[in-house]
Amino acid sequence: MSTARPLESEPSATGIAAPFSVEYRYGDAAQLLAQDSENLLAVVEFGADVGRINEDPRQISVALEQVGDKPLLEIWRSTLPVEHGFKNGVAFARNEHILVGQLVLNENDYPSLDEAAFEAYQRILAFQRNQGYKHALRMWNFFPDINVGDADDERYRQFSLGRARTFEQFRHFERALPAASAIGSYRSGLLIHFVAARTPGVQIENPRQVSAFHYPRQYGPKSPSFSRAKLKDWADESQLYISGTASVVGHESVHLDDVEAQTEEIGRNMQALLDEAARHQPRFSKARLDELSLLRVYLRPHHGNVDTIREYIQRWSGPNVPMVFLEGDICRQDLLIEIEGYYQLPF
């Protein structure tokens, strides 16, 4: 573990400048971390053949093929000194105000995916609390064969069951759920990476959609534990973490077999989230989809050409929003595309 400076005691939420920034950039993750790594909190790389858990805890390797442009990295840069290391199997990096981390579990060590997800969330939420960053802002979940299994045995539903069994242990958990994504990857093992803060964010739900944690029984034994977006205010900017957003209206998937219409519907859902964020933080009333800081686009393989889909997205995002395109299975069989976003709104 590098020891730049001991962590300080918790200050009040007001007056804290945004402690990090995020960008997509072309490069090699290991090389970037080996070079000028002092202020890096995380470097997320994508690819079917990336490593697994790396020597550097800040290198997060997501086993999804990146399609389209030359491979981009998602780079989380701290504005404050960083400490990093491994603890209880969790690889982490932190500064005074935020904690970034990842956990990879071998499913074979557990009797079921439900149990593996339960254990993973137990460990991650305990770790966040023990470190003093008890407010989960954002979680990403990747595991293979997400659509395999019938009805309640479908692996996504079993994953949701284990995750929910952990969150349910906390009182009022439905008011403190992180934004999330859950995608089928091309390698064994459950990878969860996350961002947590010392001070809470605001949970945002989408009025066009039933909250995922209130989905009816037909979608599985336990509803998925995530919020549609999380809003985080700092002294100099507001940030909005937008969950994986799909062509879901109410609780139903819409525009089956039509990736163009699904992509349009996602645009409407994202606009609804910006509108909803503006009710909590009036500065977001001037936020527009063409000023999103980043989009991660997940495409079900063999369901459309990346250049065509980029055009569909750009009808609502405009030409300038940085995007990465990843091939992965979406958690409902009838969804062909899912898009997550990040909005950094400086004052």
Binding site for ligand 3EB (CB under 6 A): 141, 160, 180-182, 212, 224, 226, 243-244, 246, 248, 331, 338
Residue 226 vs 325, nearer CB to ligand 3EB: 226
Residue 40 vs 294, nearer CB to ligand 3EB: 294
Residue 65 vs 338, nearer CB to ligand 3EB: 338
**Least distance CB 241 / ligand 3EB (angstroms):** 11
Residue 71 vs 221, nearer CB to ligand 3EB: 221
Give 18's contacts (C-beta < 8 A, 6+ positions apart): 79, 234, 235, 236, 237, 239, 344
Residue nearest ligand 3EB, Cβ-based: 244
**Cα distances (Å, whole numbers) of residue 274 to 102, 106, 229, 340:** 28, 37, 9, 13
**Least distance CB 44 / ligand 3EB (angstroms):** 17
Residue 34 CB coordination number (10 Å):
12
* 16 phi and psi angles, rounded to 5 deg: -95, 120
Residue 72 vs 248, nearer CB to ligand 3EB: 248
**Least distance CB 150 / ligand 3EB (angstroms):** 19
**What is the pairing mode between strands 59-62 and 40-46?**
parallel
Residue 95 vs 206, nearer CB to ligand 3EB: 206
**Least distance CB 244 / ligand 3EB (angstroms):** 3
**Least distance CB 17 / ligand 3EB (angstroms):** 29
Task: State the SS3 of 124-150.
Answer: HHHHHHHHCCCEEEEEEEEEECCCCCC
Residue 19 vs 224, nearer CB to ligand 3EB: 224
Residue 135 vs 222, nearer CB to ligand 3EB: 222
**Least distance CB 276 / ligand 3EB (angstroms):** 15
**Least distance CB 90 / ligand 3EB (angstroms):** 19
Residue 156 vs 234, nearer CB to ligand 3EB: 156
**Least distance CB 339 / ligand 3EB (angstroms):** 10
**Least distance CB 125 / ligand 3EB (angstroms):** 15
